[in-house]
Amino acid sequence: MDAPKLSVTQLQAGYGDVQVLWDVTLDVKPGEMVCIVGSNGAGKTTLMRAISALVPVSAGRIAVDGADLTGATPARMVAAGVAHVPEGRRLFGAMSVRDNLLMGAYLRPDKAGIAEDLEKVYALFPRLAERQKQDAGTLSGGEQQMCAVGRGLMARPSLLMIDELSLGLAPRMVDLLADGLRRVNAEGVAVLLVEQDVMNALELADRAFVLDRGRVTLSGPAAALADDPAIREAYMGGLAG
């Protein structure tokens, strides 16, 4: 059996003396889409940042394709095929869309491959092609999210992690982003998604993990969790991420 694309085991992490994550265990299989849902302050963003090596891990293990990368640098995680689209997009507002996208490929030496992937991103999100010379700070919220996702894809990842895909966006933009994500996933890129719209996340994903106060309290097929009365009662109508 193939090793999981991502394996997180008994992970503990936080900020200084404040522990946020308690023995979190989850995995993402190659080519799978997995979502993490939970209430505001549950630790979802901290988990994504810990996997990306942006937050120190105090205990537990993080492995990518079976290789132990616990304690690796952020650059090592990117080199291992993990790209992180952070909450809030974090674009360079005064730089063009094109230059923001190219920032995602900063570790890559293959100029021809970079040019090829840039065209793929433009094909995935045609609005970015139309606005490639425009400053990223002048884009709408949905267009900025497209740019942030596109920047992640420019690293040519095998695992794309997205923190809050749809937060604050119009439904039409959410649909366009979800369609793009499905296409990326269908091409074999595994996706780990944190999403404030729980029902939208469960519709997109193959499997889901519920995070509550830093612990995984429930997991299983996304369709089964979407039909769970307790999940519907707790999260129907959306959830602040």
pTM (2 d.p.): 0.92
Mean of the per-residue pLDDT values of the chain: 92
Q: What is the pLDDT, as a whole number, of residue 239?
A: 41
Q: How far is CA 3 from CA 152, 170, 171, 213, 239, in A?
A: 23, 38, 36, 29, 33
Mean pLDDT by 10 residues, the chain (241 residues): 89 95 97 92 94 96 97 94 87 91 92 96 96 93 93 96 88 92 96 89 95 94 91 63 39
Kindly state whether residue 146 falls inside one of the protein's structural domains. Answer: no
Quote the tokens at residue 52.
């990306």
Kindly state whether residue 5 falls inside one of the protein's structural domains. Answer: yes
Q: What is the pLDDT, as a whole number, of residue 74?
A: 94
Kindly state whether residue 117 falls inside one of the protein's structural domains. Answer: no
Q: What is the pLDDT, as a whole number, of residue 79?
A: 93
Q: What is the pLDDT, as a whole number, of residue 92?
A: 82
Q: What is the pLDDT, as a whole number, of residue 66?
A: 95
Domain containing 203: what range?
A: 1-79+196-241
Q: How far is CA 166 from CA 82, 92, 138, 143, 183, in A?
A: 21, 20, 19, 11, 17
- In tens, the pLDDT along 80-112 reads 999 999 887 788 888 999 999 999 998 889 999
Q: What is the pLDDT, as a whole number, of residue 195?
A: 85
Domain count, the chain: 1
Q: What is the pLDDT, as a whole number, of residue 165?
A: 86
Kindly state whether residue 23 falls inside one of the protein's structural domains. Answer: yes
Q: What is the pLDDT, as a whole number, of residue 240?
A: 38
- In tens, the pLDDT along 141-160 reads 899 999 999 999 999 999 99
Which residues does 170 contact at the CB level (< 8 Å), separation at least 6?
142
Kindly state whether residue 120 falls inside one of the protein's structural domains. Answer: no
Kindly state whether residue 209 falls inside one of the protein's structural domains. Answer: yes
Q: What is the pLDDT, as a whole number, of residue 53?
A: 96
**Domain holding 25: CATH number?**
3.40.50.300
Kindly state whether residue 34 falls inside one of the protein's structural domains. Answer: yes
Q: In what order do the strands lie in the sheet with 159-163?
A: 82-85, 159-163, 190-194, 33-37, 207-212, 215-221
Kindly state whether residue 113 falls inside one of the protein's structural domains. Answer: no
Q: What is the pLDDT, as a whole number, of residue 90?
A: 81
